Structure 1
């Protein structure tokens, strides 16, 4: 009634001041009405009827954008007397099924973690890449990553069944040799016999077996051992590789440095390189960080390789090739491969050899502030643990309930709030696929996170309409402190603070400490951080950043920033 009265009076005023432009009068009316409406704060949770009124097929929203668009319509009807400055916290249900996003690493992506090659050498580098690629990853987020990885050579020995397969597979091409191989379980290497197998024929036979056993994986090397007969029984081996079209023979004897080898290196080079030698023996790897006191240069590594190979292959002849695999530490554990050739009395780098890589795809999940592969249910658990007829589930509700109980037995020391990403086999009536689900440990139990979740958004009344609060809440992870260090590098007065922050992944907030971060320095750091990770943030975008600090104990603080006039300011 009051609102109608004010409207009537202002319309009468319009008749009196008819010379005032119509748009200005409308603005005056809106301002006058807003000034008379209530400024209030409330909480509201949508009901099933509300979803019906908003023409939703189910009592939830299918996306956050839908919620932001439709909820203001509802609020206008529910709170007609609320005016400018009012705030309503709205609870609603969101259909949020777990989605596995796919990403294929490009050639330029490897440089993101300072790699000079276009492949990963091990799992540690993959984790580093995921942290760098997704600095704002959320708990329970999944990525199917496709990348190139250093291929470890696979050792394989032909069985009698394999020779039977060769007998069938090559019967039409090499009738007598194929029949002999199947009958005797070996290759006849006597070149004066009808059953003779030359190297080209053996390569073809091995390629057929490997293709049947492993599939054709481009770049993967296989060191295949097989029985022969050259007048007496014996064995030979051949290293083969699928080049994308056919299997080819590749040179080199494969050898991987063992823990005993690293111990021997520690003793042999204790005088010449005391720090690096001791470190290699202790950790069974070579430290290849050029800034480290335990750094192994390329020349030092070659000395170590020569020492081991001369012991292990004392009868090696000039020109013999070796593919040496060894563990390294470059900030994270990894594996490296080097191709060597015997040149006179020493082993040198085989410059004509190429590194073997394969393309691989794996699913990774972000849980408990780290990327890792999801926990896959053991193959025998379906029948032995869950009472399934086959090695899969065919009922989702049953699967989620039984997996939760199983996790309780498998991980009895879980902490409150801990996440677990789980993969399991599911039969949908047509085929069996791998499904993923996130569990969280609450009140002593593993609870599956449902596909429909309860969410809350804050809406404010601005300029006559309800608008969603766009605040993004983000907690800094370890990699973020490195981003800040790089962004502030060279800034005068920050040297000690940056070194401390990068070392401990937190901000020293102890007044008087040499590495103390003041409020203004924190502000500088966080604005630099946002400029790095979201350089194109929209005007008005808000962030609440939570970061680790040390003030005598490890805890956290937060800072609220908003983009205004192209700059980040506090709000």
Structure 2
């Protein structure tokens, strides 16, 4: 208002002063902080954009303290000293707890005496995991979790020199015909009508597969009955045998095997690989370790598409695994498409191709047999390696009481595969949010949970970028519903204008109520130094500046603040509204700041 009055004065001086504006503008500038405003404000989506906060929240109170003064200066450019703003904003507080996914290393397994990338079959992983996690996470917060992935061998482990026993590229010229004739005895009939398994002059290809894009392919048909084989050299009679081939199926039936390992004499077949229709125009692949009854996988594959199939047979245990790949993989996948257990002790002397009822019509090319996965995928000279079946496991530990330990059942739950099956999915992911399923699941799982109960829930989450990992969140039973922890909360920051800038202001505003005036009378009524002052308060219900000294007012205000606000930090400010009489009865605001153990006027 003073600026307006001063500027209006210009018109009465403009014709009587040689330079009337200079003095007036100097006075206006000297009182630039004279316009006082007060606002309670909540940031909008547009405000966050203005502040370059794309996620719509601050990451810390310090970040808000740094950004909001400039924001308020732009929004209220004419406000000055004494102005106040209480700004509400979204504050990112993070997850309820931290979950780290950790995969054990060779060094970790060495703590158990293992020289392998996995615990040996005789080891008890729980004896070592807590110490391994402690070594890796020597600093942690109470309630943090670590999900440890580790491998353990299920049987014997072998050290072998990678070697290829068969590399059949089917390079038999550019003229199609029956395979046994065109291969000049490399492939021989061992069952069925002769000359029905054909050679196709055009082969199959897959990038980086070593037996690809050379020569032709063999062709099997649902109408054929001839079965053929070719010799493996050197023969494989121990440890683990891998066989592979490129395959492109154009037709499938009810299912039978078409690709297998053979012994020298008789029909002791191993790792029988087959295919059948899934009933919807796609293909299911299966394997039988030593039986014509196959175990089929659940993945539906396309017809007229080239795949790389890899089958393994462990001589000691009789376990066979089948992998179906769309690209070459340098390492053996953790999970096969299908697994079967059959007779142990079979040797691998030949590779066999079978045409039978219910079998497919297909092209087969790039047939390999080797003693390691690596030598299936490469013709290079490879270093010795360890071969053996192992399983991958997951163990969850929590940091509690200053140490890593298995979590207790109280306040913690980890979803199992059975739990996921009960809700009709295999895991959570980008299209299957945990929050869409867990509230209902937890109500069923914990029907007697009480209002306010908190449960830390961990679960399997799979994404295309990170693969499988363990994630989790805290859920609280609220009004009968399990509610997930909110990573963003509403916070507020009080700011004041100091005459030059907006600054964060921790001032607490409080207005004395009847109980406070009663507290003053009860506390100081018997004090002779306050006799007249308290008598005035008792009579008129206010604090008269004619009867109360500043020191007395400060003393009783300290009493009131301490009664309501204990444990304040140094520098805490208060704006206390008091009903006073200073010529007229009115509310007056007294400002205090904590200095040592006393609130002094600010």
User: Which bracket does the TM-score occupy, shorter chain normalised?
Assistant: 0.3 to 0.5
Q: Which has the higher contact order (CA 8 A, sep 6+)?
A: 2
Q: TM-score, normalised by structure 1?
A: 0.33
Computing the radius of gyration over CA atoms, which structure comes out larger, 1 or 2? 2
Q: Which has the higher helix share?
A: 1
